[in-house]
Amino acid sequence: MADPNIGLLLYVPYRELENRVFAALAEAGFDDVTPAQARIFQRIGPSGSRLTELAEAARVTKQTAGFLVDQLERAGYVERTPDPTDARARLVRVAGRGGQAIPVAEAVIAEVEAEWTAHLGRRRMAALCDALTRLREVTDPYP
């Protein structure tokens, strides 16, 4: 096989991280979250987010985002509340079960980052994070 392209080089470590997060979530009793739901969930802002914002950030249709939020809401991970700035709008916020799952995922992410830092060394890991942060400036329309 030829040298892998940059897309594959970015994807493989991401998938490993994602797989480990989902395994830890399942072990902790949060085995009912799908990757598609998680991609919506992780984009919820600290004060909540409108459905249209979540759809745009996850790069899915509003209908798809609504379907995923419905599932997350039924499972207790999110709730819809009135938007205090616009009486016609609703915000999606992290709910009880979602708040309980976040520290599980954060712990795994910290563990993986520590492993990668041990493997690459602090300087290379810092350079990797810097390069990816700079790439985000030109690739992420929803920082």
CATH class entry, domain 6-139:
mainly alpha
Q: Determine the average pLDDT of the residues in 107-118.
A: 98
Q: Cα-flanking dihedrals φ and ψ of residue 111, to 5°?
A: -65, -45
In this structure, how many other beta carbons lie within 10 angstroms of the beta carbon of residue 55? 21
Domain ranges (residues) in the chain: 6-139
Q: What is the pLDDT of residues 43-98, one digit of tens each?
A: 999 999 999 999 999 999 999 999 999 999 999 999 999 999 888 889 999 999 99
User: Which pTM was predicted?
Assistant: 0.88
